[in-house]
Each structure stands twice: as structure tokens, then as C-alpha cells.
């Protein structure tokens, strides 16, 4: 949440900052600001409430602001309402220190009081202003050296931060510090960039450094130096980003979400191909041996949001293919539970960004308990990818739309491959069945393509949902897991109240909410459970509900009950989730568009949730 960008070089900084921020708007978009300095001149700070375009208009797309060194910020409010005063950059009163920040400073009240006692006054409600003034305080109290001042502030600050700071005495330089909030540094000929995420700078360079926790960086034109908290210079390895710039652009689609929905066949195929060779799954980065897998008794899958829904689906798949017990946990709950993790356990954390605060904390807690950990992660070099004992990278590429689609699909398929490999390593699957299931997984990309070809039908039906106030998603087993994801998608981008229920639970409460015209969307792909779910559909229909069904080709009898039926190609039921989720993604996309909402940037949400 919150996106930061910085640039120092020989070109005008403001257009680069605005362009970079536009790639980070998925991280926050309630206000934005930039600070740009022209040589030795005073730094100019421009910030305003509202989306980035407001700032772009104020600065004539950056043309009106001169200077080759600057920092920028797009905000997702945590401390203090969205307003121009609370927007970043923040500055010390004399303009000595100017900074942008992503993260949360937990002890900001205590630090604020300390600073007030030392003569500082505060204008905003943000924790960032406290950080800025703390750096200024140490800079003035001890030697006026940026690295030392920042290091001292870092020792006092509790919480998470990615900070970019400019000092009045050091024109052309940007100082960065990081703890638990993402930040990368990019380098090109005579130019240096800093950003919360790769897409912001991909257009300019693919050569990046990952700044580690509790490290500081000094950025100059075309050069960067890293320091540890003791102000000692440290070495870093340059990494080349493989993503191409185009994959971070809309590529002719009206919205990132639609583009990302359409990328699914390719990225699912890429993810499968990254580990499958000669009809076998090989995990190079998953260093668990077959013996270790064979000894496992318990698997915990821990994640947030849609990644949690992937876990719910995978629970059914892993338990069906192996004798492993699987528990799926919300990271925000798991991390605070007073529970004893069993010795022969594996904790799988799933995260697109690899930075979600609760998931990261759950991973750290698991490692402290001494159990093995595995991350299913999309962003290379992210905190979870670096800290998990084993990593399975999904190859979704950059996902920009806040509502996840392609990352979700690649996580699901990564989980299928893991489940299959677990079954093999534990001797719990016959070779023939293994081959058959792997062949089925290989059919998923082409089947997703077929569903996408039929999107106009879903677009047509979505019109009927535009004025709906409430909806329910029902299903059993894997269909329930997919209903949870479908329901989240619909509510997060179309703001329609929606709940997902295990179909068998309807009669324990939610059925009392069904009345004439209530929308019930039923996922029905699990052969052995179809009749049970159809009975539940009939129960709600007789109470006035309007039904949509997502089912497998061949189940035409569902048209007797549902007013709209959407078919997905036949597939092994264990993997049906990969197909049945696609119509639900499309449905929520078209409903949101039909309602005229900003589908890629739903209100109050952010893509990467680095706060608790």
C-alpha cells in the first residue's frame, strides 16, 4: 500500500516520477505528491488529494516542475484521512529533510511526543511526518550526515517502512531505507531509480538491486551505495528483471483486469512448463527431499484474500491425493493463535506480492517454531520469497489490477503440481494415475482459452446484475472454494453485497435472506456432489431466488433450475476450480464496468497490503 518512486539523473525528474507512480497506482490512489529539486535550488513540493491525474493536471504532466532529482508518492491512507496535508512528500519546517514513506510506524505517538518536547510542531496526522522530523532531529543533533541520521532514526522506529529522503545539503542525492516494506533500486547509464515495485521503472531499466531489511542506500546519478545499520558499506548483487515492459502495460485492453484475465492461458502454461519436463514434475527451488515429504503429517496453508481461497481449494486437492492432513488458515488469524505447530509439518504460504504483512508474519512465526516452510510467490526477490525455506515461483508476471485473476490461477495450478508431487514422493499414487492427472493439468490453458472465447454470453448476463443489491454464491467442496473467490471478486469491484456459503449451510441461516429476485450463483462441477447442490438450488428457487449456474459441459439438466447456465469444458473434477473461476472473474468485471466503476482501482482497496 502506498507507492513510492524516486529518480536522480540528467533528465527532468517530474515526468518520470508521474509515469512511475501511474504504474504504482494499484498500491494506493487517494492522494499523490512529488518533490523535485533543480540543482541547488529550493525543492518544490506539489501534492493533492485524489487520483494521480489530479497531480498530473496540476503540473502539466510534470512539465511545469523543473529539476533532475525527485521523489514521488501515491497514497493509501492509514494515519489520517486522504487530504492534501496528509499527502506525501512531508518536510521538516525548514525544508531540511523531505521524504516519502510506505508502511506504518507503530510507535509514532511516542516519537511525536519526544519531538514536540524538542520544539517540533506537526501539521498532518501522518506517521510519516514523525519519521521525517525524527531524521531531521538526529541530523541536527549529531554530525550532519544523512546515513547516520537515518540509521539513528531506524533504531528508534518500530514498524515497517520504505523511506526515500532528500536532504537540503545534498542536492542530486536520494537516501533510502527499508524495513518490511518493498523497495527496489534500478540503475541505468547516468541514472538511478527507486520504486516500491518493478513496473514503475521497467520502462527505463531492468537492472535492479534489492535493498534488504534494515539497510540504507545512497542514490546518486548512475550510482548507488548500500550501508548496514552501522553505516558500513555493504556489497549487493545486481539482478536482471526478466519481465518485459509490455507486460506491465495494458496492451490494447481497456483495463488491466481484462488483460490479465486474458493472459491466464499463457501464464498458467508458463507456470506448468517451469516445473514439468518429460512428463514429470521437478522442483529446482523446492529443496524438500522425497524422504522429507514422505515423513510429513500435516500441511498448513496460510494466506490472505484470494490467495487464501486458493488454499481452500488446494485443501481438497491435497487431501484427496495424499494422506496428509491439511489446514487452511487466514494469515491474520494464524499469526496470533496460541497454537503448537506439529513437528512433521509443512507451512505453505501463498502470496502474489510476497509482501503481505500478515502472511510474512505467519511465515516468520512458522520458521521460529522450527517447521519447514514453502512459499508460492509471484514477485521474485520479495520478502516471502527470500525468507521461505523453499519457493515455488508462479510465473504470472506483473499483476496490476487490484482484483487478482492471473496470479490466483497460477497459484492454483502450482498447488495442483505440488499435490501431485507430494502424492508421488509419498508413494500414494499409481504411476498411471499420476500420468493421467498431469495430462489433465496440461489441458487447463487450452480449456481456459475456450472459456474466454465465450465471454460475450457472460457479458450479456452481467447486465442483469447491475442493479442487484445482494448475492450469494453456493457450492460444495471445491465448488465452495471457487464460490468464495467469485463472491470476493464481485463485491470488491462492483460493491454488490455478496456472501459465499457452503451449499449445505444455507439452511442454517442465509436462506432466511432469500426473497424474490435475490441472486444466487451456484458452482456445480463436482460430479459426486451435483445432486446435493441442485437440491439446495431448488430450495432457494422456490423462495424466489434467481439462479445462475457454472457447471461442466454435459450437465444440461441444470437449465431446468437456473435462469442462466454457463458451461466450462470437462476436466478431472479435482482441477475444475481452474476453469469454473474464469466465468466468475468475467462476470464481476462486466458488472463493475456496467456500473461505471474504476475496475482496476476499487475504492478502499490496495493490491499489496503491507499493513496489519
Whether residue 49 lies in the annotated active site? no
Position 306 contacts ligand G6P (CB under 6 A)? yes
Segment 275-304, which members bind ligand G6P (CB under 6 A)? 304
- 271: contact with ligand G6P by CB under 6 A: no
**Residue 43 is a binding residue for ligand G6P (CB under 6 A):** no
- State the Cα–Cα distance between residues 455 and 462, nearest whole angstrom: 11
For the stretch 203-227, what's the b/e string if a residue is b when 16 or more beta carbons lie within 10 angstroms of its beta carbon? ebbbebbbbbeebbbbbebeebebb
For residue 188 the three cell numbers come to 541505468
Under the binding rule (CB under 6 A), the answer on residue 414 touching ligand G6P is no
Among 74, 356, 373, 533, binds ligand G6P (CB under 6 A): 356
User: Using an 8 Å Cβ cutoff, are 256 and 199 in contact?
Assistant: no
Distance CA(374)–CA(387), nearest Å, equals 9
Is residue 421 involved in binding ligand G6P (CB under 6 A)?
A: no
Which residue in 59, 271, 315, 404 binds ligand G6P (CB under 6 A)?
404
605 contributes a contact to ligand G6P by CB under 6 A: yes
* Nearby residues of 526 by Cβ (< 8 Å), 6 or more positions away: 475, 476, 477, 478, 479, 573, 576
Of 402 and 419, nearer to ligand G6P (C-beta) is: 402
Considering only the stretches 51-59, 64-72, 267-275, 347-355, report the one whose residues sit in contact with ligand G6P under the rule CB under 6 A.
347-355
Nearest 5°: phi and psi at 217? -130, 145
The residue whose Cβ lies closest to ligand G6P is: 305
* Residue 222: C-alpha distances to residues 8, 19, 49, 69 (Å): 8, 19, 33, 12
Shortest Å, Cβ 348 to ligand G6P: 13
Q: Minimum CB separation from ligand G6P for residue 589, in Å?
A: 14
Catalytic residue, from 2, 69, 304, 566: name it. Answer: 2
Q: How far, in Å, CA of 488 to CA of 473, rounded?
A: 10
* Sole binder of ligand G6P in the list 305, 375, 445, 577 (CB under 6 A): 305
What is the number of residues in the chain?
612
Per-residue binder mask for ligand G6P (CB under 6 A), 500-529, x = binder: ------------------------------
Judged by CB under 6 A, how many residues of this single chain contact ligand G6P?
Answer: 15
Neighbours of 495 (CB within 10 A): 15
Does 24 sit near ligand G6P (CB under 6 A)?
A: no
Q: Closest CB to ligand G6P among 72 and 602?
A: 602
330 near ligand G6P, rule: CB under 6 A: no
Candidates 29-37, 143-151, 345-353, 590-598 — which segment interacts with ligand G6P by CB under 6 A?
345-353
The C-alpha atoms of residue 489 and residue 584 are separated, in whole angstroms, by: 8
Rounded least distance, CB 405 to ligand G6P, Å: 9
Which of these is catalytic: 23, 259, 447, 607?
607
Task: Select the residue interacting with ligand G6P from 353, 383, 410, 585 (CB under 6 A).
Answer: 353
Query: Does residue 332 interact with ligand G6P by CB under 6 A?
Result: no
User: In this structure, are strands 184-188 and 223-227 parallel, antiparallel, or unpaired?
Assistant: unpaired
Candidate residues 91, 258, 307, 357; the one interacting with ligand G6P per rule CB under 6 A = 307
Closest distance to ligand G6P from the beta carbon of 400 (Å): 11
Shortest spacing between CB 406 and ligand G6P, in angstroms: 11
Is 607 noted as a catalytic residue in this protein?
A: yes
Cell numbers for 397: 508476471
Stretch that binds ligand G6P, among 3-11, 113-121, 352-360, 368-376 (CB under 6 A): 352-360
DSSP result, 472-526: EEEESTHHHHHHHHHHHHHHHHH--EEEEEEGGGGGGTGGGG--TT-EEEEEE--
Residue 607 touches ligand G6P, criterion: CB under 6 A: yes
Distance from C-alpha of 81 to C-alpha of 446, rounded to nearest angstrom: 46
| Cβ neighbours of 482 (radius 10 Å) | 29
- Whichever of 382 and 471 has its CB closer to ligand G6P, that residue is 382
Report if residue 192 touches ligand G6P, rule: CB under 6 A. Answer: no
d(CA 335, CA 495): 29
Give residue 389's region: left, alpha or beta (phi > 0; psi -120 to 50): alpha
Binding to ligand G6P, residues 198-237 (CB under 6 A):
none
Nearest to 359 by CA among 380, 335, 378: 335
Min dist CB 605 to ligand G6P, Å, is 5
Q: Do the Cβ atoms of 355 and 213 come closer than 8 Å? A: no
> Cα torsion for 356, 357, 358, 364, to the nearest 10°?
110
- Assess 588 for contact with ligand G6P (CB under 6 A): no
Interface with ligand G6P includes 487 (CB under 6 A)? no
Region of 1-9, 193-201, 203-211, 602-610 interacting with ligand G6P (CB under 6 A):
602-610
**Sites of contact with ligand G6P (CB under 6 A):** 304-307, 351-353, 356, 359, 402, 404, 605, 607-609
* Active-site annotation, residues: 2, 607
Amino acid at each position: 500500500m502506498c507507492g513510492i518512486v524516486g529518480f536522480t539523473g540528467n533528465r527532468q525528474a517530474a515526468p518520470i516520477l508521474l509515469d512511475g507512480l501511474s504504474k504504482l497506482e494499484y498500491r494506493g490512489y487517494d492522494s499523490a505528491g512529488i518533490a523535485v529539486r533543480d540543482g541547488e535550488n529550493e525543492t518544490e513540493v506539489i501534492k493533492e488529494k485524489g487520483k494521480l491525474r489530479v497531480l498530473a493536471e496540476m503540473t502539466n504532466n510534470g512539465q511545469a516542475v523543473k529539476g533532475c532529482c525527485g521523489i514521488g508518492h501515491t497514497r493509501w491512507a492509514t494515519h489520517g484521512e486522504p487530504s492534501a496535508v496528509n499527502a506525501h512528500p512531508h518536510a521538516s519546517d525548514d525544508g531540511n529533510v523531505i521524504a516519502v514513506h510506505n508502511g506504518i510506524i507503530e510507535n509514532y505517538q511516542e516519537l511525536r511526543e519526544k519531538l514536540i518536547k524538542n520544539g517540533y510542531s506537526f501539521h498532518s496526522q501522518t506517521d510519516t511526518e514523525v519519521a521525517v522530523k525524527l531524521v531531521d532531529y538526529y541530523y541536527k543533533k549529531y554530525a550532519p550526515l544523512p546515513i547516520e541520521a537515518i540509521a539513528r532514526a531506524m533504531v528508534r522506529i518500530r514498524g515497517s517502512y520504505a523511506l526515500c529522503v532528500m536532504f537540503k545539503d545534498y542536492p542530486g542525492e536520494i537516501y533510502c531505507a527499508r524495513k518490511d516494506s518493498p523497495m527496489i533500486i534500478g540503475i541505468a547509464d547516468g541514472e538511478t531509480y527507486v520504486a516500491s515495485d518493478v513496473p514503475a521503472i521497467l520502462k527505463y531499466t531492468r537492472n535492479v538491486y534489492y535493498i534488504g531489511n534494515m539497510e540504507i542506500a545512497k542514490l546518486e546519478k548512475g550510482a548507488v551505495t548500500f550501508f548496514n545499520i552501522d553505516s558500513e558499506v555493504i556489497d549487493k548483487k545486481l539482478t536482471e528483471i526478466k519481465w518485459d515492459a509490455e507486460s506491465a502495460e495494458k496492451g490494447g485492453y481497456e483495463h488491466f483486469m481484462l488483460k490479465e484475465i486474458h493472459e491466464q492461458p499463457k501464464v498458467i502454461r508458463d507456470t506448468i512448463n517451469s516445473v514439468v519436463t518429460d512428463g514429470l514434475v521437478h522442483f529446482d527451488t523446492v529443496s524438500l527431499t522425497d524422504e522429507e515429504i514422505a515423513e510429513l503429517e500435516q500441511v498448513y496453508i496460510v494466506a490472505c484474500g484470494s490467495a487464501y481461497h486458493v488454499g481452500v481449494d488446494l485443501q481438497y486437492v491435497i487431501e484427496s491425493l495424499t494422506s496428509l492432513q491439511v489446514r487452511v488458515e487466514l494469515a491474520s488469524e494464524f499469526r496470533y493463535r496460541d497454537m503448537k505447530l506439529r513437528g512433521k509439518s509443512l507451512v505453505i504460504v501463498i502470496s502474489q506480492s510476497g509482501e503481505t504483512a500478515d502472511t510474512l508474519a505467519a511465515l516468520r512465526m512458522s520458521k521460529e517454531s522450527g517447521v519447514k516452510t514453502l512459499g508460492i510467490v509471484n514477485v521474485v526477490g520479495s520478502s516471502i520469497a527470500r525468507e521461505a525455506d523453499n519457493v515455488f515461483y508462479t510465473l504470472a508476471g506483473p499483476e496490476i489490477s487490484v482484483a487478482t485473476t492471473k496470479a490466483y490461477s497460477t497459484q492454483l495450478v502450482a498447488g495442483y503440481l505440488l499435490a501431485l508431487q507430494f502424492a508421488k514422493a509419498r508413494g500414494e499414487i499409481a504411476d498411471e494415475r499420476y500420468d493421467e492427472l498431469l495430462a489433465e493439468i496440461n489441458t487447463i490453458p487450452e480449456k481456459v482459452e475456450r472459456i474466454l472465447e465465450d465471454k460475450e454470453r457472460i457479458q450479456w448476463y452481467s447486465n442483469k446484475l447491475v442493479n442487484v443489491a445482494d448475492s450469494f454464491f453456493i457450492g460444495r467442496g471445491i465448488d465452495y472454494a471457487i464460490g468464495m473467490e467469485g463472491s470476493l471478486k464481485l463485491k470488491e469491484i462492483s460493491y454488490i453485497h455478496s456472501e459465499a456459503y457452503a451449499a449445505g449451510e444455507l439452511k442454517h441461516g442465509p436462506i432466511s435472506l432469500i426473497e424474490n429476485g435475490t441472486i444466487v450463483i451456484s458452482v456445480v462441477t463436482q460430479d459426486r456432489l451435483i445432486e446435493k447442490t441442485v437440491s439446495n438450488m431448488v430450495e432457494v428457487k422456490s423462495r424466489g431466488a434467481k439462479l445462475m449456474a457454472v457447471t461442466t459441459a454435459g450437465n444440461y439438466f441444470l437449465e431446468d433450475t437456473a435462469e442462466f447456465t454457463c458451461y466450462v469444458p470437462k476436466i478431472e473434477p479435482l482441477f475444475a476450480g481452474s476453469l469454473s473461476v474464469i466465468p466468475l472473474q468475467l462476470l464481476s468485471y462486466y458488472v463493475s464496468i456496467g456500473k461505471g466503476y474504476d475496475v482496476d482501482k476499487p475504492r478502499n482497496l490496495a493490491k499489496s497490503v503491507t499493513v496489519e
